[in-house]
Amino acid sequence: MIAGVDEAGRGPLAGPVVAAAVLLDVAAMPAGLADSKRLSAVQRDRLFDDIVRRAVCHAVGIASVEEIDRLNIFKATMLAMERAVAGLRLAPRGIVVDGKHTPRVACAAEAIVKGDSTVPSIMAASIIAKVTRDRIMDELAAEFPAYGFERHRGYPTPEHLAALGVHGPSAVHRRTFRPVRELLEAADAR
């Protein structure tokens, strides 16, 4: 009854940060689990479905762009993780989290650096969080087609930075992140 917890979307300039918590059954472990960053989109989608089918339970927590700008990305990430753990259908005895910090939860919590490469439940959480966030960014791409979110998921790629320069920030851009903030400051100075 130890849940793995991980997040996706700390570094992008747009969109929410998404966390997932996953309780796995050791006897029904999905084959091919790995850190979501080491898998192709096709592999992640396949594993997402397998994890959802086989997990004892799983939940997703989201912190919005407004919460990221108000709290900062670290606090918003912890909030998303807290929401994911609170959303589990079964209360875990403890959680293991990828990284150096743990969210405030009502059970034991341990941070494991590189846990998304070594702990199966964290790997599963990283896949659930990444696929969920990618799907959110696909929806935002349809709403804000000028930015190409379906290709770069909001990360500061040359394509994204060029679109920001032409179109300015959208409603889903993080205003406190430097490239967006500098664009807004330059616009205000004019």
Domain count of the chain? Answer: 1
pLDDT band at 179 (very low <50, low <70, confident <90, very high): very high
What per-residue confidence (pLDDT) applies to 56? 97
Residue 123 lies in a domain: yes
Q: What predicted TM-score, i.e. pTM, was given to this entire model?
A: 0.96
Average pLDDT over the chain reads 96
pLDDT tens by residue, 99-117: 999 999 999 999 999 999 9
Q: Tokens 């939860």 label which residue?
A: 105
**pLDDT number for residue 160:** 97
Asked if the model's pLDDT at residue 186 lies above 90, the reply is no
Residue 189 within a domain: no
| CATH label of the domain that carries residue 72 | 3.30.420.10
Adjacency order of strands within the sheet including 94-98: 57-63, 17-23, 2-8, 94-98, 108-112
* Per-residue confidence (pLDDT) for residue 190, from 0 to 100: 73
Query: 115: domain range?
Result: 2-142
Res 178: pLDDT: 96
Phi/psi of residue 160, nearest 5 degrees? -65, -45
pLDDT tens string 53-91: 999 999 999 999 999 999 999 999 999 999 999 999 999
Model confidence band, residue 187 (pLDDT cutoffs 50, 70, 90): confident
Domain presence at residue 170: no
Q: Chain-centre distance of CA 129, in angstroms? A: 5
Q: Confidence band (pLDDT; 50, 70, 90) for 188?
A: confident
* Residue-level pLDDT at 166: 95
95-126 as b/e: b if 16+ CB within 10 A:
bbbbbeebbebeeebeebeebbeebbbbbbbb
128 in any annotated domain: yes
The predicted structure's pLDDT at residue 82:
98
Quick check: helix, strand or coil at residue 34? coil
pLDDT value for 116 = 94
- What confidence tens digit (pLDDT) does each residue in 2-48 have? 999 999 999 999 999 999 999 999 888 999 999 999 999 999 999 99
What percentage of the chain exceeds 90 in pLDDT? Answer: 94
Asked if the model's pLDDT at residue 167 lies above 80, the reply is: yes
